[in-house]
Protein backbone atom coordinates (compact mmCIF):
# COMPACT_ATOMS: atom_id res chain seq x y z
CA UNK A 1 0.00 0.00 0.00
CA UNK A 2 1.22 3.48 -0.85
CA UNK A 3 1.61 5.40 2.46
CA UNK A 4 0.99 8.69 0.62
CA UNK A 5 -2.44 7.35 -0.35
CA UNK A 6 -3.43 7.40 3.31
CA UNK A 7 -2.88 11.15 3.57
CA UNK A 8 -5.83 13.53 3.21
CA UNK A 9 -5.77 15.48 -0.04
CA UNK A 10 -4.92 18.79 1.66
CA UNK A 11 -2.00 17.25 3.57
CA UNK A 12 -0.63 15.55 0.45
CA UNK A 13 -0.91 18.84 -1.47
CA UNK A 14 0.97 20.65 1.31
CA UNK A 15 3.80 18.13 0.99
CA UNK A 16 3.92 18.29 -2.81
CA UNK A 17 3.90 22.09 -3.01
CA UNK A 18 7.34 22.15 -1.39
CA UNK A 19 8.87 20.56 -4.49
CA UNK A 20 10.54 22.29 -7.41
CA UNK A 21 8.37 22.54 -10.58
CA UNK A 22 10.21 19.81 -12.50
CA UNK A 23 9.98 17.44 -9.50
CA UNK A 24 6.31 18.33 -9.10
CA UNK A 25 5.68 17.42 -12.74
CA UNK A 26 7.38 14.07 -12.13
CA UNK A 27 5.22 13.39 -9.04
CA UNK A 28 2.11 14.25 -11.03
CA UNK A 29 2.79 11.26 -13.29
CA UNK A 30 3.22 8.76 -10.41
CA UNK A 31 -0.45 7.87 -9.94
CA UNK A 32 -3.98 9.28 -10.36
CA UNK A 33 -4.20 10.36 -6.71
CA UNK A 34 -1.07 12.47 -6.89
CA UNK A 35 -2.12 13.89 -10.26
CA UNK A 36 -5.51 14.86 -8.79
CA UNK A 37 -3.87 16.52 -5.77
CA UNK A 38 -1.55 18.59 -7.97
CA UNK A 39 -4.33 19.71 -10.31
CA UNK A 40 -7.00 20.31 -7.65
CA UNK A 41 -4.76 22.65 -5.66
CA UNK A 42 -3.15 24.33 -8.69
CA UNK A 43 0.35 23.43 -7.55
CA UNK A 44 1.89 23.47 -11.01
CA UNK A 45 1.87 27.19 -11.73
CA UNK A 46 0.35 28.07 -15.08
CA UNK A 47 2.75 30.96 -15.58
CA UNK A 48 5.60 28.43 -15.75
CA UNK A 49 3.90 26.18 -18.28
CA UNK A 50 3.97 26.57 -22.09
CA UNK A 51 0.50 28.11 -22.22
CA UNK A 52 1.33 31.49 -23.75
CA UNK A 53 2.56 32.55 -27.16
CA UNK A 54 5.97 34.23 -27.25
CA UNK A 55 6.78 34.43 -30.94
CA UNK A 56 7.82 32.59 -34.09
CA UNK A 57 11.22 31.09 -34.85
CA UNK A 58 12.14 31.14 -38.54
CA UNK A 59 15.03 29.13 -39.97
CA UNK A 60 16.71 30.47 -43.11
CA UNK A 61 18.23 28.41 -45.89
CA UNK A 62 21.92 27.74 -46.33
CA UNK A 63 23.81 30.65 -47.86
CA UNK A 64 27.19 29.81 -49.43
CA UNK A 65 27.33 26.64 -47.32
CA UNK A 66 26.60 28.54 -44.10
CA UNK A 67 23.38 28.21 -42.13
CA UNK A 68 22.17 31.60 -40.93
CA UNK A 69 21.13 31.92 -37.27
CA UNK A 70 17.36 31.61 -36.78
CA UNK A 71 15.26 34.75 -36.60
CA UNK A 72 12.80 35.18 -33.73
CA UNK A 73 9.76 37.36 -34.41
CA UNK A 74 8.52 38.11 -30.91
CA UNK A 75 6.12 40.28 -28.99
CA UNK A 76 7.75 43.29 -27.25
CA UNK A 77 6.87 42.08 -23.74
CA UNK A 78 9.07 39.03 -24.36
CA UNK A 79 12.12 41.12 -25.30
CA UNK A 80 14.81 40.72 -22.67
CA UNK A 81 13.12 37.67 -21.14
CA UNK A 82 13.76 35.23 -23.99
CA UNK A 83 16.94 35.29 -26.05
CA UNK A 84 15.76 34.55 -29.56
CA UNK A 85 19.27 34.53 -31.00
CA UNK A 86 20.79 31.12 -30.23
CA UNK A 87 24.30 32.19 -31.20
CA UNK A 88 25.39 31.87 -27.56
CA UNK A 89 25.41 28.11 -28.20
CA UNK A 90 27.88 28.30 -31.08
CA UNK A 91 30.77 27.25 -28.83
CA UNK A 92 28.86 24.15 -27.77
CA UNK A 93 28.03 22.72 -31.20
CA UNK A 94 28.43 23.89 -34.78
CA UNK A 95 24.84 23.11 -35.78
CA UNK A 96 22.82 24.70 -32.99
CA UNK A 97 21.36 27.17 -35.47
CA UNK A 98 19.42 24.43 -37.26
CA UNK A 99 16.00 24.14 -35.56
CA UNK A 100 14.38 20.84 -36.46
CA UNK A 101 11.27 21.09 -34.28
CA UNK A 102 9.61 22.42 -31.17
CA UNK A 103 7.43 20.88 -28.49
CA UNK A 104 5.99 22.71 -25.48
CA UNK A 105 8.91 25.07 -24.90
CA UNK A 106 11.83 22.90 -26.01
CA UNK A 107 13.62 23.33 -29.32
CA UNK A 108 14.96 20.26 -31.08
CA UNK A 109 18.19 21.27 -32.78
CA UNK A 110 20.65 19.42 -34.93
CA UNK A 111 23.10 19.30 -32.04
CA UNK A 112 20.68 18.62 -29.19
CA UNK A 113 17.84 20.23 -27.25
CA UNK A 114 17.55 23.77 -25.85
CA UNK A 115 15.10 25.84 -23.82
CA UNK A 116 15.39 29.53 -24.84
CA UNK A 117 13.28 30.61 -21.82
CA UNK A 118 15.49 29.06 -19.12
CA UNK A 119 18.57 29.12 -21.38
CA UNK A 120 19.25 25.47 -20.62
CA UNK A 121 20.66 23.16 -23.25
CA UNK A 122 21.89 19.61 -23.72
CA UNK A 123 24.01 17.92 -26.36
CA UNK A 124 22.47 14.54 -27.10
CA UNK A 125 24.71 11.48 -27.40
CA UNK A 126 25.58 10.46 -30.92
CA UNK A 127 23.00 8.32 -32.62
CA UNK A 128 24.33 4.84 -33.39
CA UNK A 129 23.43 4.96 -37.09
CA UNK A 130 22.45 7.96 -39.20
CA UNK A 131 23.40 6.38 -42.51
CA UNK A 132 20.63 7.17 -45.04
CA UNK A 133 18.78 4.28 -46.64
CA UNK A 134 18.09 4.35 -50.37
CA UNK A 135 14.62 5.72 -51.05
CA UNK A 136 14.13 6.92 -47.46
CA UNK A 137 14.89 9.94 -45.31
CA UNK A 138 15.57 9.92 -41.57
CA UNK A 139 14.44 12.67 -39.21
CA UNK A 140 14.22 13.43 -35.51
CA UNK A 141 10.92 14.30 -33.79
CA UNK A 142 10.45 15.62 -30.26
CA UNK A 143 7.80 14.72 -27.65
CA UNK A 144 7.60 16.67 -24.38
CA UNK A 145 4.80 17.66 -21.98
CA UNK A 146 5.82 19.20 -18.62
CA UNK A 147 2.28 18.65 -17.34
CA UNK A 148 2.91 14.91 -17.53
CA UNK A 149 6.63 14.47 -16.99
CA UNK A 150 9.84 16.53 -16.79
CA UNK A 151 11.41 14.14 -19.34
CA UNK A 152 11.41 14.39 -23.12
CA UNK A 153 11.82 11.84 -25.90
CA UNK A 154 13.32 12.09 -29.38
CA UNK A 155 12.20 9.68 -32.11
CA UNK A 156 14.58 9.00 -34.99
CA UNK A 157 12.24 7.81 -37.74
CA UNK A 158 12.72 6.56 -41.26
CA UNK A 159 10.37 8.37 -43.64
CA UNK A 160 9.60 7.40 -47.21
CA UNK A 161 11.02 9.69 -49.90
CA UNK A 162 8.67 11.02 -52.64
CA UNK A 163 11.01 9.72 -55.31
CA UNK A 164 10.54 6.14 -54.10
CA UNK A 165 7.01 5.64 -52.71
CA UNK A 166 6.35 2.20 -51.28
CA UNK A 167 2.79 1.08 -50.55
CA UNK A 168 4.08 -1.65 -48.23
CA UNK A 169 5.64 0.88 -45.91
CA UNK A 170 5.68 1.38 -42.93
CA UNK A 171 6.08 -2.20 -41.78
CA UNK A 172 4.56 -3.78 -38.69
CA UNK A 173 6.23 -3.77 -36.30
CA UNK A 174 7.71 -0.38 -37.11
CA UNK A 175 11.06 -0.18 -35.29
CA UNK A 176 12.88 3.09 -34.69
CA UNK A 177 15.55 4.55 -32.44
CA UNK A 178 14.28 6.53 -29.45
CA UNK A 179 16.18 8.76 -27.04
CA UNK A 180 14.83 9.35 -23.53
CA UNK A 181 16.13 11.99 -21.14
CA UNK A 182 15.20 9.58 -18.33
CA UNK A 183 17.82 7.00 -19.36
CA UNK A 184 19.94 9.41 -21.41
CA UNK A 185 20.60 6.90 -24.18
CA UNK A 186 19.27 5.73 -27.53
CA UNK A 187 17.26 2.50 -27.58
CA UNK A 188 15.31 0.54 -30.17
CA UNK A 189 11.52 0.80 -29.83
CA UNK A 190 8.87 -1.02 -31.85
CA UNK A 191 5.30 0.00 -32.66
CA UNK A 192 2.68 -2.42 -33.98
CA UNK A 193 0.18 -1.24 -36.55
CA UNK A 194 -3.50 -0.89 -35.77
CA UNK A 195 -6.11 -0.29 -38.40
CA UNK A 196 -5.72 -0.74 -42.13
CA UNK A 197 -2.35 -0.47 -43.91
CA UNK A 198 -1.82 2.52 -46.23
CA UNK A 199 -3.36 2.31 -49.67
CA UNK A 200 -1.37 2.35 -52.88
CA UNK A 201 -0.18 5.88 -53.61
CA UNK A 202 -2.14 7.69 -56.31
CA UNK A 203 0.17 8.95 -59.14
CA UNK A 204 -1.61 12.32 -58.93
CA UNK A 205 -0.66 12.52 -55.26
CA UNK A 206 2.92 11.74 -56.16
CA UNK A 207 2.86 14.66 -58.61
CA UNK A 208 1.36 16.90 -55.93
CA UNK A 209 3.97 16.02 -53.32
CA UNK A 210 7.07 15.96 -55.49
CA UNK A 211 8.37 19.25 -54.06
CA UNK A 212 7.24 18.68 -50.48
CA UNK A 213 9.90 18.12 -47.84
CA UNK A 214 8.01 19.11 -44.71
CA UNK A 215 8.90 17.35 -41.47
CA UNK A 216 6.09 18.68 -39.30
CA UNK A 217 5.03 16.83 -36.18
CA UNK A 218 2.44 17.38 -33.45
CA UNK A 219 2.45 16.03 -29.91
CA UNK A 220 -1.11 15.89 -28.61
CA UNK A 221 -2.43 13.97 -25.59
CA UNK A 222 0.25 11.31 -25.52
CA UNK A 223 0.31 10.80 -29.28
CA UNK A 224 2.93 11.93 -31.76
CA UNK A 225 1.59 12.79 -35.24
CA UNK A 226 4.29 12.83 -37.92
CA UNK A 227 3.74 14.17 -41.43
CA UNK A 228 5.29 11.70 -43.85
CA UNK A 229 4.60 13.29 -47.27
CA UNK A 230 1.96 10.79 -48.40
CA UNK A 231 0.19 10.25 -45.08
CA UNK A 232 0.43 10.91 -41.35
CA UNK A 233 1.77 8.38 -38.87
CA UNK A 234 0.21 8.55 -35.40
CA UNK A 235 2.35 6.99 -32.68
CA UNK A 236 0.57 6.06 -29.45
CA UNK A 237 3.43 6.37 -27.00
CA UNK A 238 1.64 4.70 -24.11
CA UNK A 239 0.67 1.41 -25.79
CA UNK A 240 3.39 1.33 -28.51
CA UNK A 241 0.98 1.20 -31.43
CA UNK A 242 0.80 3.25 -34.62
CA UNK A 243 -1.88 4.12 -37.13
CA UNK A 244 -1.59 5.42 -40.69
CA UNK A 245 -3.89 8.39 -41.36
CA UNK A 246 -4.56 9.45 -44.93
CA UNK A 247 -4.20 13.11 -45.89
CA UNK A 248 -7.24 15.34 -46.51
CA UNK A 249 -8.66 15.25 -50.07
CA UNK A 250 -6.81 18.16 -51.69
CA UNK A 251 -6.70 18.32 -55.49
CA UNK A 252 -4.42 21.31 -56.07
CA UNK A 253 -1.24 20.82 -58.07
CA UNK A 254 1.04 23.10 -56.04
CA UNK A 255 1.02 24.79 -52.67
CA UNK A 256 2.41 25.03 -49.15
CA UNK A 257 1.24 22.62 -46.43
CA UNK A 258 1.56 22.44 -42.67
CA UNK A 259 0.57 20.01 -39.91
CA UNK A 260 0.05 21.72 -36.57
CA UNK A 261 -1.70 21.86 -33.22
CA UNK A 262 -4.35 24.42 -32.34
CA UNK A 263 -7.29 24.92 -30.01
CA UNK A 264 -9.05 21.57 -30.51
CA UNK A 265 -6.24 19.26 -31.54
CA UNK A 266 -4.52 18.41 -34.83
CA UNK A 267 -4.97 20.66 -37.88
CA UNK A 268 -3.75 20.50 -41.46
CA UNK A 269 -3.58 23.54 -43.73
CA UNK A 270 -3.01 23.87 -47.46
CA UNK A 271 -2.23 27.21 -49.12
CA UNK A 272 -2.73 27.00 -52.87
CA UNK A 273 -2.64 29.51 -55.66
CA UNK A 274 -1.81 32.96 -54.38
CA UNK A 275 -4.01 33.34 -51.32
CA UNK A 276 -6.29 30.32 -51.06
CA UNK A 277 -6.50 28.58 -47.67
CA UNK A 278 -8.01 25.22 -46.79
CA UNK A 279 -7.86 24.24 -43.12
CA UNK A 280 -8.79 20.76 -41.93
CA UNK A 281 -9.38 19.42 -38.41
CA UNK A 282 -8.65 15.79 -37.48
CA UNK A 283 -11.76 14.46 -35.76
CA UNK A 284 -10.87 11.37 -33.73
CA UNK A 285 -12.90 8.90 -31.72
CA UNK A 286 -12.12 5.47 -30.31
CA UNK A 287 -12.54 3.62 -33.59
CA UNK A 288 -12.96 6.37 -36.19
CA UNK A 289 -10.70 9.06 -37.65
CA UNK A 290 -11.69 11.59 -40.31
CA UNK A 291 -10.64 14.98 -41.62
CA UNK A 292 -13.26 17.73 -41.42
CA UNK A 293 -12.95 20.83 -43.60
CA UNK A 294 -12.87 23.57 -40.98
CA UNK A 295 -12.26 26.63 -43.10
CA UNK A 296 -11.89 27.57 -46.76
CA UNK A 297 -11.33 31.09 -48.00
CA UNK A 298 -9.57 33.15 -50.62
CA UNK A 299 -7.63 35.87 -48.78
CA UNK A 300 -6.89 38.02 -51.82
CA UNK A 301 -9.76 40.55 -51.29
CA UNK A 302 -8.73 41.07 -47.65
CA UNK A 303 -5.03 41.38 -48.31
CA UNK A 304 -5.30 43.58 -51.41
CA UNK A 305 -7.14 46.21 -49.37
CA UNK A 306 -4.92 46.08 -46.31
CA UNK A 307 -3.17 49.47 -45.64
CA UNK A 308 0.34 48.02 -45.49
CA UNK A 309 2.01 51.42 -45.88
CA UNK A 310 0.42 52.60 -42.61
CA UNK A 311 0.89 49.36 -40.65
CA UNK A 312 4.16 48.31 -39.10
CA UNK A 313 2.90 45.70 -36.66
CA UNK A 314 3.95 45.45 -33.03
CA UNK A 315 6.31 42.46 -33.08
CA UNK A 316 10.00 42.74 -33.90
CA UNK A 317 12.87 40.49 -34.93
CA UNK A 318 15.73 39.09 -32.90
CA UNK A 319 18.46 37.07 -34.51
CA UNK A 320 19.79 37.34 -38.03
CA UNK A 321 18.32 40.79 -38.57
CA UNK A 322 18.01 42.36 -35.14
CA UNK A 323 15.92 45.45 -34.51
CA UNK A 324 17.31 47.95 -32.06
CA UNK A 325 15.26 49.17 -29.13
CA UNK A 326 15.16 52.54 -30.87
CA UNK A 327 13.25 51.01 -33.79
CA UNK A 328 10.63 49.45 -31.52
CA UNK A 329 7.57 51.60 -31.01
CA UNK A 330 6.89 51.10 -27.29
CA UNK A 331 3.71 53.18 -27.51
CA UNK A 332 2.11 50.97 -30.14
CA UNK A 333 -0.41 48.56 -28.57
CA UNK A 334 0.95 45.04 -28.52
CA UNK A 335 -0.94 42.43 -30.50
CA UNK A 336 -2.56 40.08 -28.02
CA UNK A 337 -4.06 36.78 -29.14
CA UNK A 338 -6.19 36.71 -25.98
CA UNK A 339 -8.10 39.70 -27.30
CA UNK A 340 -10.85 38.38 -29.54
CA UNK A 341 -11.73 41.88 -30.77
CA UNK A 342 -9.34 41.66 -33.69
CA UNK A 343 -9.17 44.57 -36.05
CA UNK A 344 -10.55 43.51 -39.45
CA UNK A 345 -8.69 44.16 -42.63
CA UNK A 346 -10.01 47.51 -43.92
CA UNK A 347 -12.21 47.62 -47.00
CA UNK A 348 -10.91 50.97 -48.22
CA UNK A 349 -8.75 50.91 -51.33
CA UNK A 350 -5.01 51.49 -51.04
CA UNK A 351 -3.39 53.88 -53.49
CA UNK A 352 -2.08 52.17 -56.60
CA UNK A 353 1.42 53.53 -56.03
CA UNK A 354 1.63 51.85 -52.62
CA UNK A 355 0.21 48.49 -53.66
CA UNK A 356 2.35 45.43 -54.16
CA UNK A 357 1.39 41.90 -55.09
CA UNK A 358 0.18 39.86 -52.10
CA UNK A 359 0.67 36.14 -51.81
CA UNK A 360 1.33 33.58 -49.10
CA UNK A 361 5.05 32.80 -49.21
CA UNK A 362 4.98 30.46 -46.19
CA UNK A 363 2.67 29.02 -43.56
CA UNK A 364 4.35 29.69 -40.21
CA UNK A 365 1.93 27.63 -38.12
CA UNK A 366 -1.03 27.73 -35.78
CA UNK A 367 -1.58 29.47 -32.49
CA UNK A 368 -1.55 26.46 -30.12
CA UNK A 369 -4.56 27.60 -28.06
CA UNK A 370 -6.57 29.78 -30.44
CA UNK A 371 -7.89 29.12 -33.93
CA UNK A 372 -5.42 31.55 -35.47
CA UNK A 373 -2.93 30.83 -38.24
CA UNK A 374 0.27 32.80 -38.90
CA UNK A 375 1.23 33.51 -42.51
CA UNK A 376 4.31 35.02 -44.12
CA UNK A 377 3.14 37.36 -46.88
CA UNK A 378 5.10 38.37 -49.95
CA UNK A 379 8.46 37.52 -48.32
CA UNK A 380 8.04 40.45 -45.94
CA UNK A 381 5.05 40.78 -43.60
CA UNK A 382 3.70 38.34 -41.03
CA UNK A 383 -0.04 38.32 -40.36
CA UNK A 384 -2.37 36.58 -37.93
CA UNK A 385 -5.54 35.29 -39.54
CA UNK A 386 -8.48 34.50 -37.22
CA UNK A 387 -10.48 31.50 -38.41
CA UNK A 388 -13.55 32.30 -36.34
CA UNK A 389 -14.20 35.79 -37.69
CA UNK A 390 -12.05 35.94 -40.87
CA UNK A 391 -10.06 38.93 -39.66
CA UNK A 392 -6.44 39.76 -40.45
CA UNK A 393 -3.89 41.50 -38.23
CA UNK A 394 -0.39 42.65 -39.14
CA UNK A 395 2.26 41.47 -36.65
CA UNK A 396 5.35 42.98 -38.17
CA UNK A 397 8.08 42.61 -40.75
CA UNK A 398 10.28 39.56 -41.22
CA UNK A 399 12.20 40.43 -44.40
CA UNK A 400 13.91 37.99 -46.70
CA UNK A 401 16.71 39.46 -48.82
CA UNK A 402 18.49 38.35 -51.94
CA UNK A 403 18.73 34.59 -52.29
CA UNK A 404 17.51 33.96 -48.72
CA UNK A 405 14.36 32.00 -48.08
CA UNK A 406 12.76 30.63 -44.92
CA UNK A 407 13.26 26.89 -44.79
CA UNK A 408 11.19 26.05 -41.69
CA UNK A 409 9.46 27.70 -38.74
CA UNK A 410 7.87 26.97 -35.38
CA UNK A 411 5.42 28.86 -33.21
CA UNK A 412 7.12 29.10 -29.82
CA UNK A 413 5.40 28.66 -26.44
CA UNK A 414 7.90 29.22 -23.59
CA UNK A 415 8.25 26.79 -20.69
CA UNK A 416 9.87 28.21 -17.55
CA UNK A 417 10.20 24.85 -15.80
CA UNK A 418 13.77 23.60 -15.63
CA UNK A 419 13.59 20.34 -17.54
CA UNK A 420 15.98 17.40 -17.67
CA UNK A 421 18.72 19.03 -19.75
CA UNK A 422 21.58 17.83 -17.57
CA UNK A 423 21.72 21.19 -15.73
CA UNK A 424 23.50 22.84 -18.63
CA UNK A 425 22.88 26.56 -18.95
CA UNK A 426 24.58 29.68 -20.19
CA UNK A 427 25.09 30.91 -16.64
CA UNK A 428 26.43 27.64 -15.21
CA UNK A 429 28.64 26.34 -18.01
CA UNK A 430 32.23 27.52 -17.82
CA UNK A 431 32.90 26.85 -21.49
CA UNK A 432 30.62 29.68 -22.64
Q: Is the pLDDT of residue 201 over 60?
A: no
Span 372-425, pLDDT tens digits:
999 998 878 899 999 988 888 888 888 777 667 788 899 999 998 876 676 565
Question: What does the pLDDT read at residue 352?
Answer: 33
Span 414-431, pLDDT tens digits:
998 876 676 565 554 433
- Name the nearest CA neighbour of 42 among 71, 63, 18, 13: 13
Span 21-62, pLDDT tens digits:
667 777 777 777 888 887 777 777 667 778 889 999 988 776
- Name the nearest CA neighbour of 138 among 215, 31, 235, 27: 215
Q: How far is CA 10 from CA 5, 19, 147, 153, in A?
A: 12, 15, 20, 33
User: How would you label 14-39 residue by residue, b for 16+ Cβ within 10 Å and e otherwise?
Assistant: eebeeeebbebbbbbeeeeebeebbe
Higher pLDDT, 348 or 235: 235
* Cβ neighbours around 284 below 10 Å, total: 17
Dihedral sign (CA 321, 325, 327, 328):
positive
Q: What rounded mean pLDDT belongs to the chain?
A: 77
Averaged pLDDT, 253-271: 88
* 227: three-class secondary structure by DSSP: strand
Averaged pLDDT, 65-71: 72
Q: Is the pLDDT of residue 259 over 70?
A: yes
First to last CA, the chain: 48
Question: Can you tell me the distance from the alpha carbon of 197 to that of 217, in angstroms, rounded to the nearest whole number?
Answer: 20
Averaged pLDDT, 69-73: 85
Question: What does the pLDDT read at residue 80?
Answer: 74
Question: Can you tell me the distance from the alpha carbon of 73 to that of 177, in angstroms, rounded to the nearest whole number?
Answer: 33
pTM for the whole structure: 0.82
Question: What does the pLDDT read at residue 168?
Answer: 66
Q: Where are the alpha helices (DSSP H) in 266-424?
A: 300-304
Question: What does the pLDDT read at residue 6?
Answer: 67
Of 102-111, 238-247, 328-337, the poorest mean pLDDT is in 328-337
Q: Give the sheet arrangement for strand 391-397, strand by strand.
A: 360-366, 372-377, 381-386, 391-397
Beta strands in 247-342 (DSSP E): 255-262, 265-272, 276-284, 289-298, 316-318
Contact at 8 Å (CB) between 181 and 190?
no
**Helices and strands (H, E) in the chain, number of each type:** 5, 26
Question: What does the pLDDT read at residue 162?
Answer: 52
DSSP code string of 210-225: TT-----EEEETTEEE
Question: What does the pLDDT read at residue 187?
Answer: 94
Span 311-320, pLDDT tens digits:
667 888 886 5
Q: Is the pLDDT of residue 166 over 60?
A: no
Amino acid sequence: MDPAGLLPGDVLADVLRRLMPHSLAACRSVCKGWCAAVDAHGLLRKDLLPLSLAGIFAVYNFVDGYHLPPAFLSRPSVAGKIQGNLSYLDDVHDDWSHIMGHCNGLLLLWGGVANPATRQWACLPCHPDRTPTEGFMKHDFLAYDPMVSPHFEVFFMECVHPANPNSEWPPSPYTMSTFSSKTWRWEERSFTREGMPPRSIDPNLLLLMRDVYSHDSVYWRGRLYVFNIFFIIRLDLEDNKYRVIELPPINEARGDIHLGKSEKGVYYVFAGGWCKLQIWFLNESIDHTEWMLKHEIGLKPLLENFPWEHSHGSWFVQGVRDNNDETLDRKKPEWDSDNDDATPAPTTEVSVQKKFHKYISRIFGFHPYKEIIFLHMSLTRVVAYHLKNSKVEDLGCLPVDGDDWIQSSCVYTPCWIESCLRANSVESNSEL
